[in-house]
Amino acid sequence: MTVEDWDRSGIRAANVCVACHAPLIAGAVTISAIVIRDERFLREDRCAACSSTVPVDSVSQWTSRRPADAKGPRRLDFDSLLELFVRMEGRSDDASLRLRWIVGLLLMRRRLLSVTGRRVEDGREILVLKPRGEEKTYDVKDPGLDDDAAESLRDDLSRIFDLDRRTV
């Protein structure tokens, strides 16, 4: 699967609960999850009443309040992004490797992850990253993204978290 094959419509915030199909209204608590279906990342939004239906195999999940019509760009919740990075540990499918690489780079840029080492295996660089204030490290393999694929992944990340492109 290439980055271009991602189901882009499936990673935008929904206006209705994926479980009960009730409208998600401004100010209401919503539970969002990133899941992999048919080798694609999908965002699923649920109302509070359906929170128990979040799949146990979700890559990441978070609870938030449904925003009112915002004036200006929304900001990325880097704690949620760090949780996504950690929860992707051990996933070896191509889509997860690409997403984890770009998330790791974003978190390094924000100084939430630091590089504690690097090595090359099978011609690919592997970064050893450590979250700020923790001892555990994570190996992150360079998936070999070209500039267009990295930009596309960054756009997808903006859509997953329902952000203005300039805030990532």
Taking the whole predicted model, whether its pTM rises above 0.75 is answered as: no
Write the DSSP assignment of 90-127 as a string of letters.
T--SHHHHHHHHHHHHHHHHTTSEEEEEEEEETTEEEE
pLDDT at 168: 43
pLDDT at 160: 65
Domain ranges of the chain: 3-68+76-167
- Give the C-alpha separation, 96 to 85, whole Å: 10
**Mean pLDDT, all residues of the chain:** 80
With contact defined as beta carbons under 8 Å apart, do 113 and 85 qualify? yes
pLDDT at 117: 94
Residues sharing a CB contact under 8 Å with residue 77, sequence separation 6 or more, in sequence order:
62, 64, 161
Q: pLDDT digits over 43-59, tens only?
A: 899 999 999 999 988 88
Residues sharing a CB contact under 8 Å with residue 145, sequence separation 6 or more, in sequence order:
3, 98, 101, 102, 153
For the record, the structure tokens of 35 come out as 């899941």
Checking DSSP bridges between strand 138-141 and strand 124-131, what pairing results, if any? antiparallel
pLDDT higher than threshold 50 for residue 167: no
- Residue of higher predicted confidence among 72 and 39: 39
pLDDT at 72: 52
Order of strands, edge to edge, in the sheet holding 40-47? 40-47, 29-37, 60-65
Q: How confident is the model at residue 69 (pLDDT cuts 50, 70, 90)?
A: low
pLDDT at 17: 92
Residues sharing a CB contact under 8 Å with residue 63, sequence separation 6 or more, in sequence order:
29, 30, 31, 32, 51
Q: pLDDT digits over 75-109, tens only?
A: 667 887 888 899 889 888 887 888 888 889 889 98
For the record, the structure tokens of 102 come out as 């770009």
CA atoms within 13 A on the CB side of 57: 7
For the record, the structure tokens of 127 come out as 């970064």
With contact defined as beta carbons under 8 Å apart, do 43 and 34 qualify? yes
Q: How confident is the model at residue 11 (pLDDT cuts 50, 70, 90)?
A: low
Q: pLDDT digits over 129-148, tens only?
A: 999 989 999 999 988 877 77
pLDDT at 8: 43
Q: pLDDT digits over 25-44, tens only?
A: 888 899 988 888 777 778 89
